[in-house]
Amino acid sequence: AQTVTQSQPEMSVQEAETVTLSCTYDTSESDYYLFWYKQPPSRQMILVIRQEAYKQQNATENRFSVNFQKAAKSFSLKISDSQLGDAAMYFCAYRGFYNQGGKLIFGQGTELSVKP
Amino acid sequence: DAGVTQSPTHLIKTRGQHVTLRCSPISGHKSVSWYQQVLGQGPQFIFQYYEKEERGRGNFPDRFSARQFPNYSSELNVNALLLGDSALYLCASSLAGLTSYEQYFGPGTRLTVT
């Protein structure tokens, strides 16, 4: 069975600085998708960035980028120029490429606080 | 366009009761998934429905059931509620069930069982 682990329950960053959130996963599949979701206090889960495992190039979305290390099964999220609005719970998630159920497997989450 | 909507927003039930949660997907989306998020944890997959058929089921007891209607909206039913069923229930919709990889989440229904 696939698992996703986020080993940092809480992280803190100064406004305008850079922070990296860690995620590791375990799978025997060769094709899959990885995601980072943001969940602010409003509870709405928002997709931040996605990575297809067959792509070697790391995904980038404005201030958000990932470091995808397939062999190490590591998928970290880097937030550059942190803003107060980035404060939220961040979840790493996995989905098998051929998973007909569309099932997302989530990590435990990392709570990010941004200090002004 | 409206996003995924869920109702009700909050709900308080007593142990042993039954509850029905509702979800309307984004227009054009045919797949709906349900997740349970216990406080302080990541969401856990309960069900996925695509074209009104169950396409996936998580490790939840038979007290949990769901269905999808012809307009692709969905209901999650939980019978014989337990205190441990208290959680945020999230609904997510996607364009297609098999190959689409992007799921859009609703704001959730907060269920409290007393």
Which of A64-68, B69-73, B92-96 shows the lowest mean pLDDT across its residues?
Answer: B92-96
Tell me how close the Cα of B16 comes to any Cα of chain A, in angstroms: 27
Tokens 């944890």 correspond to: B41
The whole-number pLDDT of residue A30 equals: 87
With CA atoms as reference, report the closest residue to B90 among B111, B70, B71.
B111
Report the phi/psi class of residue B58: left, alpha or beta, with left for phi > 0 and alpha for psi in -120 to 50.
beta
What pLDDT score does A100 carry?
A: 55
| Tokens linked to B45 | 């997959």
pLDDT in tens, A1-52: 889 999 999 999 999 999 999 999 999 988 899 999 999 987 889 999 999 9
Question: How much is the pLDDT for B95?
Answer: 82
Closest chain A C-alpha to B90 CA, distance in angstroms: 9
Report the b/e string of B82-92 with b at 16+ CB within 10 A: eeebbbbbbbb
Mean pLDDT (chain A, rounded): 93
Which pLDDT does position A101 carry in this prediction? Answer: 54
Is residue B25 less than 8 Å (CB to CB) from chain A?
no
pLDDT computed for residue B97 by the predictor: 53
Which residue in B has a C-alpha nearest to residue A95's C-alpha? B101
Instruction: Give the number of beta-carbon pairs within 8 Å between A and B.
Output: 70
Q: Do B105 and A44 touch (CB under 8 A)?
A: yes
Of A33, A43, A106, the CB nearest to B101: A33
Residue A46 to residue A85: CA distance in whole angstroms: 13
d(CA A111, nearest CA chain B) in Å = 10
DSSP classification of residue B26: P
pLDDT over threshold 60, residue A96:
yes
Measure the CA–CA gap between B36 and B87, rounded to whole angstroms: 6
**Tell me: the pLDDT tens digits for B34-90?**
999 999 899 999 999 988 899 889 999 999 999 999 999 999 999 999 999 999 999
Residue A97: closest C-alpha in chain B: B99
Q: Does residue B98 have a pLDDT over 90?
A: no
